[in-house]
Amino acid sequence: MKGDALCTMSLSEAARAVARREVSSRALTEACLNRIEHHGEALHCIARIDPDAALRAADEADATLAKSGPRGLLHGVPLAHKDMFFRAGRAADCGSRIMAGHVPEVTSSALAHLDAAGALDIAQLHMVEFALGTTGHNEITGTPRNPWNTEYITGGSSSGSGAALAARLVFAALGSDTGGSIRLPAACCGLVGLKPTYGRVSRAGAMPLSFTLDHIGPLTRTVEDAALMLQVLAGADPADPTTPQEPVPDYRAGLNAGVRGLRIALPETYFYDKTDPEVAALARASLDVLEKLGATIVPVRLPEEFALANAMSVMITVTEAAAYHARWLRERPDDYGRQTLGRMLPGLLYPATRYIEALNLRARILNILEEHVFAKADILHTPVWPIPVPSIAESDVAANPGFMEFLTLTGHCVRPFNYTGLPAMSVPIGRTNNGLPSAMQLIGRPFDEATLFRAAAAYERETGCTAEAPPL
């Protein structure tokens, strides 16, 4: 295998090939750079890249491997990440005009973990301005394009991560998820996207949006790759006090365990209330596969009160974001894109009592999930996007007078799990009639990502759901 064909390997395959010296880090990096040169501009997903520096890093990785063996689980494998993960001395724009050219003095803990595992960081990827948006639109830096059809959105806010990974430009990418921003791009682009349990991965050195809702996690091509990335990223960090002293298990150990004996909850309320019939049919078919493999399907009903989770998540996001951006909102409002400014300004108007009420209601929503779902099942199964992936034109804020309602709809299935902090995973389940991917969401108990990997891997083996690549 050589040249462009190298990019078809999964992250796990590439890491094993380098460790066994079946392929060099330089060969992998040259293949990625070549693919970026051919497809990066059309997809508008690359924010910043230094090919010479990438090749030097690859040569250093090969020299280290020859001298002392692999540094870690990802030795010599080229990755790229959302342009909000700070690296000391390197500019990060965060998809914005306001932070354009900002040079941080710290390196994010997530990047440091990947560095320690031997991964290469070869490019920064475009994103929604300040990570505030579910569609991927960005009128400041431009909107990334979906490799399945460039007239369609990638999902946001980890838009460049979704496009670059689906197009096989790199082997994995970091994203952030405050209201679905890992799972939505993964769903739109036919990828696996994991929002781990709140605090499972350190947020230190990553641009904050909403400090009680922000999560860091990977977008990958396969379930094994997601488990491998979390293995490297997870753990306590003194620089982030929200990371607990929770042991990090071997996430790959149970990938072949199958789903026999697992109980999977099918919600009869809320999640399908606004779901398009075509998406609902694909979601139900994915559940049928899991049932055929031995899982027990458990119908559950959530009380009407659960619907508050979406609204409370939105309010907390914009309130905390507005607090962080307060000075810029006063001094530089014209430097924001219209969508970002329009969503952030209301955060300055919510009274503190409403914000505290929203935080306090979280315990009630968690209790609802425990009583109505996890007392009866091991995993909750839902759609990710409740509608087929829309085009860039039809989801543009300037052309859509009902845009705020549209944003509420796009987060309908995903935001409740930022609000509650539970682990949630997007897994491809086929394509809708417009040719764009759709996905199921698997949600688990706190710090039980391993069970999500187990179920997703069984579905992946049975269906080959992650094997298909966009026809670039």
Token pair belonging to 416 = 């409740």
Reading phi first (left if > 0) and then psi (alpha if -120 to 50, else beta), residue 88 is in: beta
Q: Which of 24, 157, 159, 395 is catalytic?
A: 157
Count of alpha carbons within 13 angstroms of residue 343, beta-carbon side? 26
β-sheet bridge partners, residue 264: 297, 379
Q: Which of 159, 161, 181, 426 is catalytic?
A: 181
Contact 118, 75 (CB under 8 A): yes
Q: Please spell the DSSP secondary structure of 261-323, one letter per residue.
A: T-EEEEESSSTTTT--HHHHHHHHHHHHHHHHTTPEEEEE---GGGGHHHHHHHHHHHHHHHH
300: CB partners within 8 A, 6+ apart: 265, 266, 267, 268, 372, 373, 376, 377, 380
Catalytic residue among 10, 12, 24, 82: 82
Active site residue 24: no
Whether 181 is catalytic: yes
C-alpha 7/C-alpha 168 separation (Å) is 6
Going 90 to 95 to 100 to 105, the CA torsion angle's sign is negative
- Whether residue 82 lies in the annotated active site: yes
Active site residues: 82, 157, 181
